[in-house]
Structure 1
Amino acid sequence: MTESTPPTVRRIAINTGGGDAPGLNAVIRAATLAALREGWEVLGIRRGYMGLLEPEVDGEPGVMQLTANAVRGITHLGGTILGTTTRGNPFGLEVRQPDGTWGKVDRSDEIVECFRKREIDALIAIGGDGSLSIAHALYNKGLPVIGVPKTIDNDLSATDVTFGFQTAVEVATDAIGRLHSTAEAHQRVMVVQLMGRHTGWIALESGISGGADVILIPEIPYHVDRIAEKVRERDVQGRRFSIVVVAEGAQPADGVASYADASGRYGGIADRVAEQITEVTGKETRTLVLGHIQRGGEPIAYDRSLALRFGAAAVRCIREGSLGTMVALQGNRIRAVPLGDAVHDIKRVPADSELVMTARQLGISFGD
């Protein structure tokens, strides 16, 4: 639901939650400057919502004043000046029990009360599907919220693109490209593991752009023998090396679960695939797990521009009273979409998409 009558706004807050992504600081800067031009006061909540529950940590206040000086020169910076956390869900915060064990407690009502006490009229919540689901739940408790989509996985269905994605693809493409010469020199198979628990957008786009021979994504279950066929095919053609790109959540066709540890962190699939390739083909293999390098560093120009547009649009939504929404890029325009719809489904790679068809026409194998 959105409000039809623009609210009286004096003070807003901004927070960043979940994994970091290139462009977060650009959103913060745009939203802050746009809000200041409206005559509003702007507060930054550190570490997601934890800054409200922990007023001070190591001498650092949990809430900071965002002024024009505070956001000067941060558009190009990676990370977030507000900090972030992946363990800050106020609906289920981990706490140590009296018996020494860990449990979860719902402190969401405290968050809403903190906003009321500070007389914050709206929150700009910058995050991915998890963070925005939390923001939507807080909106249902009465907290005025505008969401800004952030995820390098590009898996939010309501927006064509999320900021941070193109930078991650650029980083991954560069890494894949650099592996060609060393793989060819040693006649090895190089297996590159990229982020993508549930979707394969990064692996697909960077794999195509970087010249991969095999791309494994969660949406298309793979067979090891099909991967081996591609490796042998290249050997026959005199191309005695291969580049295999695998998303961390890719799954074999036998239905075995993705390679996640007890904490839910994904990893190890590159090693598993490399071992299997060696067993079947006898080829020497090496692995590279790109990991958090995909999240780090400066955002490319596209992500800076999109992040700035999102930040400014979020302020327009507050000014117009369009609360409980998320700003989204649809075509060449920024639109406000209901927050509940935005986090309802994740955007997966269609197996018959134009990108997949292009890859197949280029001779890239998906192991299927």
Structure 2
Amino acid sequence: MRVGVLTGGGDCPGLNAVMRAVVRKGVQRYGCEFVGFRDGWHGLLEGDTVRLDIPAVRGTLPRGGTILGSSRTNPFKEADGVRRINATLAKEEVDALIAIGGEDTLGVAARLVQEHGVHCVGVPKTIDNDLSATDYTFGFDTAVGVATEAIDRLHTTAESHMRVLVVEVMGRHAGWIALHSGLAGGANCVLIPEQPFDVDEVCGWVTSRFRASYAPIVVVAEGAVPKGGGMVLKDGSQDSFGHVRLSGVGEWLAKQIESRTGKEARTTVLGHIQRGGTPSAFDRWLATRFGLHAIDAVHEQDWGTMVALRGTDIVRVPLSEATARLKTVDPALYEEAGVFFG
């Protein structure tokens, strides 16, 4: 069997570990051949391929990013996109496709399976941990670790200058990174997209913290919104999946805090640092297991499925289920953290 592999959407620690496991087991156990498509769905549209064999994936386990490259290309928004994909698959004699990505990449894969009969298996990837069909996605643990270390470091400079430090982390619709890193890093306030925040309440928490002679750390997800307001946007542009570019809620909030409390406030935007670099041990473990089970699904011709973590088991779920809804922070879970606010 000849198997195609692609990585789509934002880069993420652990992508190379998935491909390494897929190729190693596919070649050694099932006698598969592999072809990689560069830059996500763009590679399938353009027929841009790279040889993917054991030497190609050797040494990639600890490497961040993706050796295949990635993009946010949506083939359903491209002229004659499905025909071009089918033509590339036929030309490359690809029998099956493994798509590694998040909600958008796997949403395309689900449509290709359901509407056009493409033989495809999915692997979930997102640092936001917002895919509902799996307990965890690889990349999330690394992102939380990076954010937590940053918060740890910011405590000392905040206390040295007795100023407010606002830390903006990723999280468009789900606040998992903010909640986990905020709790782990001892933040005095965590703001997430699922719970619109009251600026006056945040300022009250900040003031309370100063009364105790401590400098506050506020962690805010990029998609968090004030009550009665909307997302803070970098500009009005959208990608091919209709997502606007978010940036600036941290800076906006710092100005609000400074003007309302009279306390000096600064912003740190972690941005792409959270998803770059070496994957954590947990993400290497999870990504490797996902890859091993994904090639099993291909071998068994279980098309239209995605591998997922349930407890400590790797299971298969329908791709349609995996992309049906986002996994957001439960209000009760967020309420637990509230005892540390202020």
Shorter-normalised TM range? over 0.9
- Structure 2 residue aligned with 1:238, among 213, 233, 244? 213
Residues 166-201 of structure 1 deviation map (CA, whole Å, 9 limit, x = unaligned):
000000000011000000000000001100010000
The number of residue pairs the alignment matches comes to 334
Alignment RMSD (CA, Å): 1.2
Structure 2 equivalent of residue 131 of structure 1: 105
**Cα pair 2:16 2:64 within 8 Å, conserved:** yes
Deviation at 1:67, TM superposition (A): 1.2
Deviates more, 1:243-252 or 1:230-239: 230-239
Structure 2 equivalent of residue 289 of structure 1: 269
- Structure 2 residue aligned with 1:298, among 278, 283, 303? 278
Structure 2 equivalent of residue 7 of structure 1: none
- Structure 2 residue aligned with 1:78, among 53, 56, 64? 64
- Structure 1 residue aligned with 2:184, among 203, 209, 220? 209
**Any stretches of 5+ residues in structure 2 without a counterpart?**
238-243
Deviation at 1:114, TM superposition (A): 1.5
The 5 Å alignment of 1:40-79 reads 40-55=32-47, 62-79=48-65
**Any stretches of 5+ residues in structure 1 without a counterpart?**
1-9, 56-61, 94-104
> SS of 1:212's equivalent?
coil
TM-score, with structure 2 as normaliser: 0.95
Deviation at 1:106, TM superposition (A): 4.2
Deviation at 1:116, TM superposition (A): 2.2
**Cα pair 1:192 1:288 within 8 Å, conserved:** yes
Which amino acid is the alignment partner of residue 89 of structure 1? N
Structure 1 residue runs of 4+, over 4 Å off?
Answer: none
Q: Looking at secondary structure, tell me which structure has more helix per residue.
A: 2
1:256 equivalenced with 2:230 (yes/no) = yes
Structure 2 equivalent of residue 147 of structure 1: 122
Structure 1 equivalent of residue 337 of structure 2: 359
Structure 2 equivalent of residue 90 of structure 1: 75
The 5 Å alignment of 1:113-128 reads 113-128=87-102
Deviation at 1:260, TM superposition (A): 4.8
> SS of 1:91's equivalent?
helix
Which amino acid is the alignment partner of residue 65 of structure 2? G
Structure 2 equivalent of residue 111 of structure 1: 85
1:349 equivalenced with 2:329 (yes/no) = yes
TM-score, with structure 1 as normaliser: 0.89
> SS of 1:288's equivalent?
strand
The 5 Å alignment of 1:255-274 reads 255-263=229-237, 264-274=244-254
- In 2, distance between residues paired with 1:185 and 1:255? 33
1:169 equivalenced with 2:120 (yes/no) = no
1:229 equivalenced with 2:204 (yes/no) = yes
> SS of 2:246's equivalent?
coil
Deviation at 1:258, TM superposition (A): 4.2
**Cα pair 1:112 1:138 within 8 Å, conserved:** no
Structure 2 equivalent of residue 338 of structure 1: 318
Residues 306-329 of structure 1 deviation map (CA, whole Å, 9 limit, x = unaligned):
000000100111112211000000
**Cα pair 1:278 1:285 within 8 Å, conserved:** yes
Which amino acid is the alignment partner of residue 14 of structure 2? G
**Cα pair 1:156 1:162 within 8 Å, conserved:** yes
Q: Aligned residues: percent identity?
A: 51
